[in-house]
C-alpha cells in the first residue's frame, strides 16, 4: 500500500531563516506530487506541483521554491522566511489528476 | 481564481440529523471530488463524481452533480459526532494535472 510522509510535524522558525520541508511517498512510482498551504480556517492554496523528476510548476509567485530530486521525494524550500509564510503545509500525491492522498502536514510558525 | 466555493461556511446540527453542503464552481470539469479534514490533519478523499454522472453513493454519503448549474452537493445521512470535520470540494480543470479546492464547510455534530 502507498504511504506518504512529511516532516517535521511542527516547526518554529525566525523571520529571515531558511526552510526545508520534505515529503516522501512509498509504494508507488512516478506519482504527481503537490505542495499546498492552508491558512487557519481556510481552504488549500496550491503552491507547486510536479508530474516528474525535475519538473516543477509554480502556482503562486512567492519566496518559496520546490524541488523533486528523486521520483518520490518533494522538497519545499525558502532562503528567507517571511511572517506571511506561517501556515499548515500539506504534501499530496496522485496518479494522474484523480484522487489525491495527503500527508499529515507540517505546522510552520514564523516568529 | 477560486474554482470551488462551498456553502455554508459553517454548519452545526444535532447527532442523527442529515447534513447537506453545497459546492459551486466556474469552469468545465472532468470530475468533482469531496474531501474531509479533521482539525490539524491532512485531507482524506471521500468520493469522486465524474462529469457524466449525476449522483453517487458511498455508505452514508450521497453526492449529486449538476453540470448545467455548475454545482454539487454532499449529503451525510444519520450524522454522528465523529463526522465533525471540515469538508472541501475540489475540481479539476480539464487537461490539468491539478485540483482546485474550495474554502470548505466546517461541520459540527452536537451529541
pLDDT tens column, B28-57: 888 999 999 999 999 999 999 999 999 999
Those residues whose C-beta lies under 8 Å from the C-beta of residue A13, and which sit 6 or more positions away, are A19, A81, A108, A109, A110, A111
A24 in Cβ contact with A33 (< 8 Å): no
| pLDDT for the residue A40 | 84
pLDDT tens column, A86-95: 999 999 999 8
pLDDT tens column, B54-78: 999 999 999 999 999 999 999 999 9
Question: Using beta carbons and an 8 Å cutoff, which residues of A are at the interface with B?
Answer: 32, 34, 36, 41-44, 46, 49, 51, 57, 59, 88, 90, 92, 96-105, 107
The CA distance from A47 to A60, in Å, is: 6
The overall average pLDDT reported for chain B is 92
Whether the pLDDT of residue B1 is over 60: the answer is no
Q: Which of B41, B102, B104 sits opposite A104 (nearest CB)?
A: B41
Rounded to 5 degrees, φ, ψ at A73 are -130, 130
Query: Taking the mean position of all CA atoms in its chain, how far away is CA B23?
Result: 7
Between B17 and A95, the more confident residue is: B17
| pLDDT for the residue A97 | 60
B33 in Cβ contact with B47 (< 8 Å): yes
| Residue contact A96–B97, C-beta within 8 A | yes
> H/E/C letters for each residue in A21-45?
EEEEEECCCCCEEEEEEECCCCCEE
Low-confidence ranges of chain A (pLDDT < 70): 61, 96-97
Which of A97, A104, A107, A108 to probe the B interface (max B CBs under 10 A)? Answer: A97
Percent of chain B with pLDDT strictly greater than 70: 94
| pLDDT for the residue B94 | 63
Which among A73, A26, A21, A100 has a CA at the least distance from the CA of B42? A100
A41 in Cβ contact with A99 (< 8 Å): no
- Closest chain B C-alpha to A17 CA, distance in angstroms: 24
The position carrying cell 459526532 is B81
| pLDDT for the residue B37 | 97
Amino acid at each position: 500500500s502507498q504511504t506518504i510522509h512529511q516532516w517535521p510535524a511542527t516547526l518554529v522558525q525566525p523571520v529571515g531563516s531558511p526552510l526545508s520541508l520534505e515529503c516522501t511517498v512509498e509504494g508507488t512510482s512516478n506519482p504527481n506530487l503537490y505542495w499546498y498551504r492552508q491558512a487557519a480556517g481556510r481552504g488549500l492554496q496550491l503552491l507547486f506541483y510536479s508530474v516528474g523528476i525535475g519538473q516543477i510548476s509554480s502556482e503562486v509567485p512567492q519566496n518559496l521554491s520546490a524541488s523533486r530530486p528523486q521520483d518520490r521525494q518533494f522538497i519545499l524550500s525558502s532562503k528567507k522566511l517571511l511572517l506571511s509564510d506561517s501556515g499548515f503545509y500539506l504534501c499530496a500525491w496522485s496518479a494522474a489528476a484523480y484522487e489525491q492522498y495527503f500527508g499529515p502536514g507540517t505546522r510552520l510558525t514564523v516568529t | 481564481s477560486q474554482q470551488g466555493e462551498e456553502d455554508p461556511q459553517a454548519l452545526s446540527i444535532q447527532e442523527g440529523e442529515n447534513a447537506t453542503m453545497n459546492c459551486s464552481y466556474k469552469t468545465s470539469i472532468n470530475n468533482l471530488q469531496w474531501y474531509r479534514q479533521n482539525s490539524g490533519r491532512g485531507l482524506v478523499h471521500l468520493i469522486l463524481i465524474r462529469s457524466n454522472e449525476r449522483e453517487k453513493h458511498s455508505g452514508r454519503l450521497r453526492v449529486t452533480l449538476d453540470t448545467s448549474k455548475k454545482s454539487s452537493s454532499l449529503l451525510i445521512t444519520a450524522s454522528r459526532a465523529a463526522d465533525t470535520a471540515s469538508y472541501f470540494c475540489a475540481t479539476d480543470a480539464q487537461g490539468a494535472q491539478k485540483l482546485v479546492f474550495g474554502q470548505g464547510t466546517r461541520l459540527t455534530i452536537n451529541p
